[in-house]
Amino acid sequence: MLDYKLHKLEMGPDTLVALTEREAALYYRQLVAIRRLEAAAAQLYREQLVRGFCHLYTGQEACAVGLCAALRPQDNLIAGYRIHGWAYLMGVTAAAVLAELTGRASGCAQGKGGSMHMYAPNFYGGNGIVGAQISLGTGIALANKYRKNGAVCFALYGDGAANQGQIFECYNMAQLWKLPIVFVCENNNYGMGTSAWRASSNTNYYTRGDYLPGVWVDGQDVLAVRSATRFAIEHAQQRGPLVLELCTYRYAGHSMSDPGTSYRTREEVQQVRQRQDAIERFRKICLEMSLLTQTQLLGIERTVRDEMELAIKAARTDVELPLSHLCNDVYAGSYAQLQLRGVLGHNLEHARSRTESCHE
């Protein structure tokens, strides 16, 4: 039986859920795939093939798998910058995710976006500005309502962004206009190196909407997240916005440059791994309910391992875009002689000669 905490709601998500063998195999595969995908990203980063920031999702896999399991084809999703797993579940292949990280043309944004800017149909990507995606997500929900397409937008943010003013402004507008949006706070307990209790006077993020109803969910439980998401979709369609708090935990540091041990102990991380790991919990459910055998689980793991090995190879060897593509994808349409800040197309010699003439 699943457990939830409710805010301004008389009834919440279903506490009893069904799980088929097919669903069990799919969810387990997705959980393992995200875990291995992030391990591959870390490996490529250590090889200095990934430029810029790289934020890993390791430990939080059940949030993405459970939520995406309940999404309908028309629903939208927009997130922050810890998005590799979300991009994968929203349709970007593992090869395209890793190739994007290494700046290859086969990346989902042709290598131009990198870790924080991946996109797919109905997935409005990540955002490098903390909390900015909530304002954009509210706009997407407004567009959904205007178009009467029945879609619900899921706007994700972390506990580190939860105190931003723009989030409370969006709460207000969403409730005022009864927008079909679900505000999803992935509470992994730390905003960079600051624990939630040191940054927030109220760490019950599902209640922070005040006049918005909210639901607290065990974010390490795939089935609890799936059930809560189904409830949220129905609520957003019929009654307007809702806040979901997914209580989870990240094993890695804030980013690859953060060892993650200066503000928490190794023992704390290890304890969560041993007691609350999402993959091990779901594996146990599959075995106890006789949905999957140990042999089937190992077979799934081997399939995922092979997929990731091929993706890593592509991320290392695929071609990069030529310099002539530098100004592409900036504006709609085609501009053969695009003028940007004194630079004609990619002709850097043109800009250099102008600069030199100014100093003569």
Q: For the segment 231-285, what is each residue's pLDDT rounded down to a tens digit?
A: 999 999 999 999 999 999 999 999 998 888 889 999 999 999 999 999 999 999 9
Instruction: Give me the percent of the chain exceeding a pLDDT of 70.
Output: 92
CB 141 within 8 A of CB 174: yes
Q: 204-236 in b/e burial notation, b at 16+ Cβ within 10 A?
A: ebbbbbeebbbbbbbbbbbbbbbbbbbbbbebb
pLDDT over threshold 70, residue 328: yes
Q: For the segment 116-132, what is each residue's pLDDT rounded down to a tens digit?
A: 999 999 999 999 999 99
CB 7 within 8 A of CB 207: yes
Q: By C-alpha distance, which of 266, 216, 287 is closest to 245?
A: 216
- Residue range 27-50: average pLDDT? 98
**Tokens 């929203």 correspond to what residue?**
90
CB 152 within 8 A of CB 182: yes
* Cα torsion 297, 22, 37, 275: sign: negative
* Residues β-bridged to residue 245: 185, 216
> What is the Cα–Cα distance from 194 to 250, expressed in whole angstroms?
13
> What is the Cα–Cα distance from 92 to 50, expressed in whole angstroms?
18
Burial of 355 (0-12, 13-18, 19+ CB in 10 A): exposed
Higher-pLDDT residue of 20, 52: 20
- Domain locations along the chain: 4-320, 328-358
pLDDT over threshold 60, residue 358: no
Q: Would you state the pLDDT for residue 339? A: 58
CB 87 within 8 A of CB 80: no
**Domain 4-320 adopts which CATH fold?**
Rossmann fold (3.40.50)
